Amino acid sequence: MTSSSNPSICNTSAQYVHWSEANVEHTALWRSERGNAPPQRVVLADDTLTADNAYHLACGGTGLLWRGDFHNARHLLDAIARRIDQVPKRKRVKSDLPIPIVEAFNLHRQTQAQRARTLGMVLIELDENFHCPLRRAPNVQAACHEAWDAPEIATPTESVPSVVSLRELLGMTSASEWRRVGVEIASLNGAENFRIHPHYSVFSPVRGEYLGLVAAAHLPKPPKGHTGITAFDIGTGTGVLAAILVHRGVERVIATDSEPRALACARDNMGRLGMENKVSVQAADLFPEGAASLIVCNPPWLPARPGSTLERAVYDENGQMLRGYLAGLALHLAPKGEGWLILSNLAELLGMRTREELLNTFEQNGLRVVSRIDAKPQHPKTKDSTDVLHVARANEVTSLWRLAVAKPSDAKV
């Protein structure tokens, strides 16, 4: 297991990890953005640990507190991942009957969750300043401060050493790099390209088809006596849709979100783009006060329970955000205003919602469909035939539904 034939054993309690090393007792704060509990059993591990032994220990729920070279820890993580991905091939049961897509999706989520738990067993210790003392370790301090210690996220924790999974740490450093470099958003109607800088755990606008829909949809006319319109961006995230609307000439945007990290991210991006005078970023569950001529919402597309806080951008448990947006839309639309709902049909293809249910929800909330604009996703998974959800992904369509308050004549007789 380690360079010693009798590895040191650590016991974890609450959200701390305790271990004895070189006859000295150590304590570290357990950190997990995914909300995982600390491993119940942890062994000290170094470069002498084989990939096979590491894989079997990790599968059994044993944490490996790394004491070797940092790059070797990354190689070990990759080796464990390869062993995980080979297991289904060995255990696959031959059958002439195709697995129903909803069952395939549930199995896919279970597999991914178990994969994440196993890979999360390679652990890294950081000192009280988020410095990693391992050989050839990168500087992760900025990434850790961005993810954990920003004042808008939470009150600073006590200054003690931390233990975090290597997988999460790599995700944080990758997110920090994305935040530094930014994501280029294609030019809109002749306007210059601009960059959006996503923060850690805030959904990055890498799928361009829904951005193109918002850039192309016909804007509602300003209210009588006004030269421009006010728009609400519900669940703004990075603020990318608010920025697109301003680029298109929308006079004022109120962007809302309930997540502190998203609010900080959107404010940062509006400042970078010089839009802080046109975009007001506000904390709200859904709608701000008042009414707007245009209300845009891009809710999580799948009505399933998120497995962690990091999955909230993808999974909307019981469709709460979608239903809340549709329920409040008519109350917040100005006369002749429109609500734009950006939604993929992936939930329909996975058997999680039907098109009839969606249309009925529109009607039940006093809404009518003005038009619908569709786009096909271009991300790599649509062409990956080895993906268990390939059929659904290949047939996915992202739509912008233009909704308005139903007229009395729209009511069914």
SS (H, E, C) the chain: CCCCCCCCEEEEECCEEEEEECCEEEEEEECCCCCCCCCCEEEEECCCCCHHHHHHHHHCCEEEEECCCHHHHHHHHHHHHHHHHHHHHHHCCCCCCCCCHHHHHHHHHHHHHHHHHHHCCEEEEECCCCCCCCCCCCCCHHHHHHHHHCCCCCCCCCCCCEEEEHHHHHHHHHHHHHHHHCEEECCCCCCCCEEECCCCCCCCCCCHHHHHHHHHCCCCCCCCCCCCCEEEEECCCCCHHHHHHHHCCCCEEEEEECCHHHHHHHHHHHHHCCCCCCEEEEECCCCCCCCEEEEEECCCCECCCCCCHHHCCCECHHHHHHHHHHHHHHHHEEEEEEEEEEEECHHHHCCCCCHHHHHHHHHHCCEEEEEEEEECCCCHHHHCCCCCCHHHHHCCCEEEEEEEECCHHHCCC
Residue 71's pLDDT band, with cuts at 50, 70 and 90, is very high
Fold adopted by 182-410: Rossmann fold (3.40.50)
Query: Is the pLDDT score of 337 beyond 60?
Result: yes
Domain with CATH 3.40.50.150 in the chain: 182-410
Q: Return d(Cα 28, Cα 42) in angstroms, integer.
A: 13
Residue with tokens 């890294």: 124
Cα angle: 349, vertex 352, 357; to 5 degrees = 95
For residue 397, pLDDT beyond 80: yes
Please state, as a whole number, how many other Cβ atoms lie within 10 Å of the Cβ of residue 297: 26
Are 46 and 104 in contact, with CB atoms under 8 Å apart? no
Which of 70-74, 212-216, 258-262 is modeled with the greatest confidence? 70-74
Q: Can you read off the two tokens belonging to residue 37?
A: 């509990």
74 against 149, higher pLDDT: 74
pLDDT of residue 208: 81
In the prediction, which pLDDT does 158 show?
Answer: 60
- pLDDT of residue 410 exceeding 90, the answer is no
Backbone angles phi, psi at 375, to 5 degrees: -150, 145
The amino acid occupying position 107 is L
Query: Is 121 a residue whose pLDDT tops 60?
Result: yes
Report the distance separating Cα 136 and Cα 69, nearest Å: 6
Tally of CA atoms within 13 A in the half-sphere of 386 that contains its CB: 4
pLDDT at 3: 36
Q: Would you state the pLDDT for residue 98? A: 62
